[in-house]
Amino acid sequence: MLSKIKRTLWGDVSMEEFKHFGLLSATFFFVVGAYWMLRGLKNAFFMHLVGPDFLPLAKVVSIVSLITILIFYNKLVDLLEKTKLIYLMTGIYGTSYVLMAFCLSNPAFAGAWIGWPLYVLIESFGSIVIPLFWAYVASVTDVSKAKKGYPIIVSGAQLGSMLGCLTVMMFADTLGAPGLVGIGGLLVFAIPVLIYTFNKNHVATAIEQKEAKKKPTGILEGLRLLLSKPYLMGILVVSTVYEIIATVMDFMMNKSAFQIYGSLEEVAKFLATFGLCVNALSFVFALLGTSFFIRRFGLTKCLVAYPTMIAVLVVAVWWMPGLWVFFGAQVALKGLSYALNNPCKEIMYVPTSKDVKYKAKSWIEAQGGRSAKALGSVITGSFPVIADLLCYGSIICLGVIAAWIPIAYLVGSKNQSLVDNNQIIE
């Protein structure tokens, strides 16, 4: 029975492969569970302490902060083995969340100032730890297994996302912001335990052994690779450019919600409901659709399908504006990003070197993603009135998508060429 279900959902996956990716899925469960619990709280708490009109500036500030974090992180890539790197980074974030929870619970520390470091802390977690997890997965997986196993990882992870959102919805009033941040820190501490369990039974591949012998390449090697390799620039576009459109829609949804719901807890519950719907859609699609679409239509067509769908959403939002239209469009945009676009772009990292997986990827996911959000914030800052943003912002977003689609096609075709010729980008 289990074999039939596995074959239906994910194709020809052996029991050993299922256990392999199942443990990685459990690890990602805690990664995204902690992230989504704090993600909704991040905006709600920031708006409560600092104000909603400062959200665009907060995204810009996060870019500056991430530069320092990325330099530190890239230095650690040269100094530490990949598993120890995970242990250290998750330890830092877990400890930071617990300390932040203490500050939030103490009236002497819980002032407006704390909204800024909490925002940066949660933003950087999504930009550092999530890409670090996927870099680790790519380093222990070949292309054929990735197409079968990545949907399994995403399916299990969405359960963690929904659990994180449900926790906020059910316990926001009882636990308050300090309690939720503290729980998020405890969830982060589970990540290194599961990675240790997985790594005990993992045998390094020949590629890993070869890469382990390479000399350190420096903290700016990832940036150099990104700027010199067209394939990586293509990954940058398909990985991050959607954040421009998402930031515009997110601003409209957040501002509308803040105007309709008054208190921190009510806004947090609304955003948690949003997160729950996003991850419910992601879970259903990852379980039933991700593997099927990748196997049936191929990586390139899936990469092109996502921006095409976003174009339809942009037109729909412009045509019928309103809080729940913003809500529905963001659910579709984010949900299919996690369930379809993200697994596809992670597969593109498999035929690459360690420096690409850990260093170039960190710049793409952290600075590239934040830069795309900053561009979206420039748009929202230029048109703070929602009516103007709907008109001019929609035109800009459609122009971005027009450039995105051909790039997605080209980078998908290049990936297929690398796989066919057994080459890697290094």
In whole angstroms, what is the distance from residue 328 CA to residue 322 CA?
10
pLDDT along the chain (426 residues), means of 10: 58 71 87 80 74 76 81 84 90 90 74 77 86 86 74 77 66 72 88 88 49 62 85 92 91 82 71 79 80 84 93 91 88 87 88 85 80 86 83 91 95 89 83
Q: CB count, 10 Å around CB of 349?
A: 27
pLDDT at residue 413, as a whole number:
92
pLDDT at residue 238, as a whole number:
92
H or E stretch at 162: helix 143-200
**Both structure tokens of 337:** 């990003």
- Return the CATH fold of 2-420: Growth Hormone; Chain: A; (1.20.1250)
**Both structure tokens of 286:** 């990852």
**Both structure tokens of 408:** 């997605």
In whole angstroms, what is the distance from residue 109 CA to residue 181 CA?
15
Name residue 411's amino acid.
V
pLDDT at residue 93, as a whole number:
93
pLDDT at residue 205, as a whole number:
46
pLDDT at residue 55, as a whole number:
74
Q: CB count, 10 Å around CB of 111?
A: 10
CA angle 26, 31, 36 (to 5 degrees): 120
**Both structure tokens of 329:** 């469009």
Q: Are 151 and 343 in contact (CB under 8 A)?
A: yes
pTM for the predicted model, two decimal places: 0.76
pLDDT at residue 4, as a whole number:
60
pLDDT at residue 8, as a whole number:
58
